[in-house]
Chain A
Amino acid sequence: MNHLRAVNRKAVRVERATDHDVVALQRNGLPQAPHFPIGCSLVFSPGWEADRTGGTAGLCQPVERDLFDCHIGCYWPAQVPDQLNHAPDWTAKCAAAQKDWRRIDLIFP
C-alpha cells in the first residue's frame, strides 16, 4: 500500500477506515465471510452471543426483531423460549417484539 494512493472518495474512506487497527479484518484462520452490519444475512449462521468472527457486527439486530422467529422455530432453544414446549404463550402479551419488547418475560424452564 505504500506506493498506492487513493484516487477516489471511496478509496479515501477505505484508507481512513483501515488506518487504525482493524483487528476484525486481520484475523486469520477463519473462513472469509463477509460482515453484514445489520440484520440476518443469507450466507452464514453466527452464534447467539457473537458472530463467527467473534464480534457483534454480524448478529441479527436489533435482537427483538428476530426473537419471535427464533421462538416459533425453536431455533435457539437454550437462549430463546421455545413455543413447542416451554413457553407456548410467550408472545401473548406482545404482538411485535420491536415495539412491545418491554412486555417479554424471562422464562425459567
Chain B
Amino acid sequence: MPTRGLRLALDVAVRLLAMFAVLSCGARAAAQTSAATAPGSVGNAEVRDEGIPIRSELVRAKCGSCHRSDQQQRLSRISYRRATPENWERTIKRMATLNKVDLDPADARAILKYLADHQGLAPDEERPIAFEAERRMLEYTYMADKDTADTCSSCHSMARVLAERRTKEEWELLVAMHRGYYPLVDNQPMNGGQGFRRTRPAQTEPGPDGRPPDNRHPMDKALEHLTKTLPLTTSEWATWSAAMQSPKLAGRWAIVGSAAGKGAVYGTVVIAADPGAPDNFTTDTRYTVARTGETVTRTGKAIVYTGYQWRGRGGDAQPWREVLFVERDWRNMWGRWYTGSYDETGIDVKLVRLGSEPMIFGASVTALKSSSTAMPVKIFGANLPATPRVEDVGFGQGVSVARIVSARPDEIALEVNVAPDALIGPRDVSVGGTAMPSALVVYDRIDGLKVNPAAGMARVGGNVFPKQLQQFEAVGINNGLDGKSGTADDLNLGIVSVKWSLEEYPATFGDDDVQFVGTLDQNGLFTPSGDGPNPKRTGNRNNVGDVWVVAELAPGGGGAAAAASGPPAGAATTVRARAHLLVTVPVYMAWFETEGGR
C-alpha cells in the first residue's frame, strides 16, 4: 500500500488527470477515435496488411456500432488482436460494464466462442502460460525484458500480457487504455518499479557495455518489446488456424491426478459430445483418492475453445472448474481442476484416452518399508485382469505378493511382503503384461521431511469477503543409497502423516501473529481467521501475519508413507520441516469467475 504523503499528492494529480481526461474525451473516446481511423489511417501499413476479417454476423452486429468495419470485413481494434478465451472474456465484460454495450448472456458466449476460435492463441503460444488459466499460485518471473515485466506485472500477472498477440498500434492503444482508465499508472512506483513513465532522474553515464544510457519511458521500452515479441501474425498461429479441427473427445478417459495434501487420485471420465453444439461436451467423472479410498463422483459440462482449450465446470454443492489443454493427438489432456474462493484448492490432472488395452494408473501406496509383511496395496487401472494370479502381479526385487484380496478391472487389492534385504529405490508395478515405471519406492527409514509448498499464502475472510485457504503436505525423504541428504538419489516417499503446528516467524519485536492468523488442522489445511479490524490487536490490525508451518514426525511413528491404514513408517529420530505462510488481506476486485465470492 502506498505512502500517505505521496498519495495525497497523487490524489490531486489523479483528479486533475481525470478532469483532463474528461475534457479531452478520455480513453473511451480515444478508442472510438481510433475506431474511426484505425484501418487505412495514414502511416498504418502494418495494420492494413495484418488484420483478421470477422465473418460472424453476430459479432459484426453487436460490436459494429462502435468498431468500424472496412472493406475486408475487419473491425477496428478487434481484428488486430488475438487472445486466450479468458482475455476475450474480460474484454467483453469490460465492454458491458464500462462501455455499456447491451449484450444478452447467450450472445456474449457466442461472441466469446467466435473470437477465441478465430483469433486465439496457438497451442505452442499457450503452452508456456497455461498456469494462468489453470489459476495456479506460483511465482513467475518474466526474464525476457525487465522493463516490460516491471511495467505490467506491478498490477497483474505477466501471463495476462503473454496471453495476447497484437499489432504495434494495438499495443500502443492498450497502453493508452491503461493510462486513460488508471491515470496514476504513469508514476506509480509499485514493487520497486517506476510506473509507465520514467520518474527517476535521467542517466547521463554510459552503461556497462559502453552504450549511451536508454532514458526512454518504461512504457516505450515495453512497447518496443511487446511489438517485437508478441506480434499479431506468427507462424504458430498460421499453422494452427489452418490445422485446427473441432476435437472429437467423446469416450472413456483415465484420470491420473495429484491433490495437495491428499496425494494421488485415480479414476475415469466418460465424455459425451453434445450433438446440438460443436465443441460442447458433458462429463461423468469418478475418481478415488488412492491414499484414503475417498471416492468422488461429479457430472459436468465443458466447451473447447480454439480446438484445444477445455473449459469445464461441474459439481453441485461445491462447484469445480476444469481447465485442460487438449493435445493435438486427442489422446492426452492435462491441466488443473479447481475450486475455492480464490481457486486455491485444486488437483493437477492428466487424462489419457482409454482403449481396450490394460493400463495401470498407479498404486495406493507411494512407498513400502523394507522388512514388512502383509502390507495392503491397491493397484488402480483400467482393463486389468478380472482374476489375476499372484504371479501375474510384480513389484520387482525384494517385494513379493502374499495374496490377492480382491480384483476388479479397475482395482486390484493385494497384500505384499517386503524382504529385509530388499534394496531401497523405485519399483515398477506390473499386472498382466503392462507395467507402470517407478510406481512406488522401497525404503528403510525416513531421514527427513519436506513441507509443500515451501511458501504458502492465505487471505483472511469469512465476515464479508471469502477466505483463501492454504493446504500443506509433508512428504517423507529417504537419503538414498549414498546416505546423504539433498543429493540426486534421495527418495521421495510421498505424503506422511505428521503432527502439524504453527510457530511464530519473528519479523518484529514482540511479534504475536501466531495468536491471530488462524488455525492449522492435522491434515495440513490452514484456515485463516476473520477479516476486518481486530480490536484485540494493537492498532486494530487485521488478523494478518506471517508464521512458520511446522511438520514433525516422532521416532518410529507417524503412520505412513504407506497407506493411511498401514503400519508406522519409522523415522529414527524426530524429524521436522517447515514452510513459510503469509496470511494477508483480501482482494476487493474479483477479476476471475470465482465461486466463493458470489
Contacts and interface: CB of A to CB of B under 8 A. Distances in A.
B7 to A, nearest CB: 6
B181 A35 contact: no
B544 A84 contact: no
- Interface size range on B against A: 35 or more
B4 A75 contact: no
A78 B504 CA distance: 31
A74 B156 CA distance: 15
Contacts of B464: 101-102, 104, 106
B546 interface: yes
B184 A106 contact: no
Interface stretch (B92-100, B346-354, B423-431): B92-100
Interface in A68-82: 69-70, 72-82
A73 B7 contact: yes
A93 to B, nearest CB: 12
Interface string B559-591: 000000000000000000000101111111111
B539 A61 contact: yes
Contacts of B465: 106
A95 to B, nearest CB: 16
A53 B539 contact: no
B589 A17 contact: no
Contact of A80 (B463, B507, B588, B591): B588
Nearest to B513: A56
Contact of A107 (B18, B457, B513, B590): B590
A42 B191 contact: no
Given A43-B3, A62-B539, A66-B1, A86 B589 contact: yes
A22 B538 CA distance: 21
B589 A107 contact: yes
A54 B179 CA distance: 29
B2 interface: yes
Nearest to A36: B508
Interface string A84-96: 1110000000000
Contacts of A54: 546, 580, 582
Contacts of B511: 57
A65 B585 CA distance: 12
Interface string B513-543: 1000000000000000001111000111110
How many A residues touch the partner, as a band? 35 or more
A49 B584 contact: yes
Nearest to B509: A17
B335 interface: no
A45 B2 contact: yes
A38 B538 contact: yes
Given A75-B2, A102-B464, A84 B183 contact: yes
A109 interface: yes
B70 to A, nearest CB: 29
A55 B155 contact: no
A102 B532 contact: yes
A35 B182 contact: no
Interface of B: 1-7, 10-11, 14, 18, 93-94, 97-98, 155-156, 181-185, 188-192, 457, 463-465, 504-511, 513, 531-534, 538-542, 544-546, 580, 582-591, 597-598
Given A40-B2, A53-B507, 10 more contacts: A20-B504, A20-B506, A24-B505, A63-B1, A74-B14, A77-B181, A79-B588, A81-B589, A85-B98, A107-B588
22 contacts: A20-B506, A23-B505, A25-B507, A37-B508, A37-B539, A38-B538, A45-B1, A45-B3, A47-B190, A52-B192, A55-B505, A57-B507, A59-B584, A62-B541, A63-B585, A66-B1, A74-B14, A78-B589, A80-B589, A86-B97, A106-B465, A109-B590
